[in-house]
């Protein structure tokens, strides 16, 4: 029997509980070597439900412990630069939650650290791994895509909602449209420049495709969708539940037991595939699909949307924005 991968989890907030712990605990090839969290109560809660090794309070303690293979960084973005840098320089491959960091300078610095160390660094832009998004993307394989619309709406305000939440669909827009960003036009509604409530953007890509982005943080409910049109074909995605492709024939598919047979949240949302891909890249020493280079391009588009809408860009955080 092969020796299990010894995985360290850094951060035990809702994304860890809702997605990663559930998925990793069911994998016989994985051992939870350590969980890092500041709160002793949080660590006790994890140990009460899952079999884990060490309970630690900082990355420094984790590196001193040392008996782990790969690390998953699930902390708030403000902590990513320091934590990921320390792990990479210590020789560990890292899966990190999005966004990379609050500032472009930190994103670019992490890109340089990854280049210097040669370690695998994957960012969990899970829409690229989500079954309904993958089926829509495959429908345009070898076909011209003319326009792609993405929306991510929620009912609750959030600081820097575009960066911290809607960046997922900005990344999906880049992935669907392909090519480099050539032009960005945007508008925003915001009483506070660091708490944008509504943002719309139009993006032209070098592939010839046009992208449309819509985000509302004053919606009646959480809702995310994508529409892609071109070559007399359309794909409708209602994330994470369903996709419908309309053209020469109509094909519909739902992420339900009847449509798929797998109902875990991690699989339905694409996180199981994120973890699979991370492990595959580690084993092969290969760059991931959602690498730091891809993540940096998505952050640059977020920055361009902010600035085009008249809001502080990602350099404003470096100047001490509120």
Q: What is the pLDDT of residue 1?
A: 43
pLDDT in tens, 228-259: 999 999 999 999 999 999 998 788 877 665 55
User: Mean pLDDT throughout 76-80?
Assistant: 97
Q: What is the pLDDT of residue 195?
A: 96
* pLDDT surpasses 60 at 284: yes
Q: What is the pLDDT of residue 154?
A: 96
The per-residue pLDDT of the chain, averaged, comes to 94
CA-CA-CA-CA torsion sign (282, 8, 59, 166): positive
Q: What is the pLDDT of residue 270?
A: 94
**Residue carrying structure tokens 């890092």:** 36
d(CA 271, CA 100): 17
Q: Is residue 224 part of a domain?
A: yes
For residue 202, give every residue at least 6 positions away whose Cβ sits within 8 Å of its Cβ, in sequence order, or none.
184, 185, 186, 210, 211, 212, 213
Q: Give the residue from 319, 320, 299 showing the smallest Cα distance to 100.
A: 299
CATH of residue 85's domain is: 3.40.50.720
* pLDDT surpasses 80 at 262: no
Q: Are 116 and 258 contained in the same domain?
A: no
Q: Is residue 229 part of a domain?
A: yes
CATH of residue 231's domain is: 3.30.360.10
Q: What is the pLDDT of residue 260?
A: 53
In the chain, the number of structural domains is 2
Q: Are 304 and 286 contained in the same domain?
A: no
Q: Are 144 and 256 contained in the same domain?
A: yes
Q: What is the pLDDT of residue 161?
A: 97
User: Mean pLDDT throughout 33-52?
Assistant: 92
**Residue carrying structure tokens 């326009």:** 147
Decide: pTM greater than 0.85: yes
Domain region containing 89? 5-125+277-292
* pLDDT surpasses 90 at 179: yes
């Amino acid at each position: 029997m092969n020796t299990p991968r010894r995985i360290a989890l850094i951060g035990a907030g809702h994304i860890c509980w809702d997605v990663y712990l559930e998925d990793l605990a069911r994998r016989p090839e994985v051992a939870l070597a350590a969980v890092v969290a500041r709160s002793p109560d949080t660590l006790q809660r994890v140990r009460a439900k899952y079999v884990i090794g060490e309970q630690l309070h900082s990355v420094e303690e984790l590196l001193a412990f040392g008996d782990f293979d790969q690390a998953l960084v699930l902390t708030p973005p403000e902590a990513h630069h320091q934590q990921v840098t320390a792990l990479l320089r210590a020789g560990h491959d890292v899966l990190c939650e999005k966004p990379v960091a609050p500032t472009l300078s930190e994103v670019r610095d992490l890109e340089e650290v990854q280049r210097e160390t040669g370690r695998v660094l994957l960012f969990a832009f899970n829409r690229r791994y989500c079954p309904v998004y993958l089926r829509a993307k495959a429908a345009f394989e070898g076909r011209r895509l003319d326009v792609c619309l993405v929306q991510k709406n929620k009912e609750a305000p959030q600081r820097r909602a575009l960066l911290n939440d809607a960046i997922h669909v900005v990344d999906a827009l880049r992935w669907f449209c392909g090519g480099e960003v050539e032009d960005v036009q945007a508008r925003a509604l915001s009483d506070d420049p660091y708490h944008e409530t509504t943002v719309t953007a139009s993006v032209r890509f070098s592939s010839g495709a046009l992208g449309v982005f819509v985000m509302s943080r004053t919606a009646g409910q959480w809702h995310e969708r994508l529409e892609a049109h071109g070559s007399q074909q359309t794909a409708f995605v209602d994330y994470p539940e369903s996709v419908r492709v309309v053209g020469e024939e109509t094909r519909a598919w739902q992420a339900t037991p009847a449509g798929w047979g797998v109902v875990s949240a991690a699989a339905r949302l694409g996180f199981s595939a994120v973890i699979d891909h991370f492990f595959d890249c580690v084993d092969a020493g290969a760059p991931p699909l959602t690498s730091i280079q891809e993540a940096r391009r998505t952050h640059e588009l977020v920055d361009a949307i902010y600035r085009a809408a008249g809001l502080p860009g990602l350099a404003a955080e470096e100047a001490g924005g509120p």
